[in-house]
């Protein structure tokens, strides 16, 4: 489901980014640990704050991130321009249609529900 103008404003604000960086990321790290050298799929990347956190705080080697809204993916592309193409793949899509082929050892980080999966098993 695409967000309306108000929902986009709520999702794309510095206060939400602060909560993601300091509260949600800390919780996810306690639950699942770091992702050093792993590939991660982020579902619902929005404007890219979560993707930044996955690289910076969790140490992922590579992130495949997508969102249903092309405007959000474009914002994420601008925000994350410092990450080279081999490390970052951003695209528009849905969870059902866009899941890239990844090995069983791939780490899955789902922004929308803040659920972390390790090796195909929910933590």
Q: Please report the pLDDT score of residue 95 as a whole number.
A: 60
What is the domain-level CATH number for residue 117?
3.40.50.150
43 lies in which domain range?
A: 5-122
The domain tally of the chain equals 1
Q: What does each of the 123 residues of the chain score in pLDDT, given as a tens digit?
A: 678 889 888 888 899 999 999 999 999 888 888 889 899 988 889 999 999 999 999 999 999 999 999 999 999 999 999 999 999 999 998 765 545 555 544 444 444 433 444 444 333
Helical segments of 12-64, H only: 14-19, 25-32, 49-56
Query: 24's torsion region: left (phi>0), alpha (psi -120 to 50) or beta?
Result: alpha
Sign, Cα dihedral of 101, 104, 105, 110: positive
């Amino acid at each position: 489901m695409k967000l309306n103008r108000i929902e986009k404003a709520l999702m794309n604000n510095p206060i939400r980014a602060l909560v993601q960086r300091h509260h949600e990321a800390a919780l996810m790290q306690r639950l699942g640990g770091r992702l050093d050298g792993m590939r991660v799929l982020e579902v619902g990347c929005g404007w890219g704050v979560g993707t930044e956190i996955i690289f910076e705080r969790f140490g992922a080697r590579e992130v495949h991130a997508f969102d249903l809204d092309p405007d959000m993916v474009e914002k994420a592309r601008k925000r994350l321009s410092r990450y080279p193409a081999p490390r970052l793949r951003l695209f528009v899509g849905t969870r059902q249609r866009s899941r890239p082929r990844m090995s069983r050892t791939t780490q899955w980080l789902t922004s929308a529900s803040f659920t972390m999966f390790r090796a195909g098993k929910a933590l």
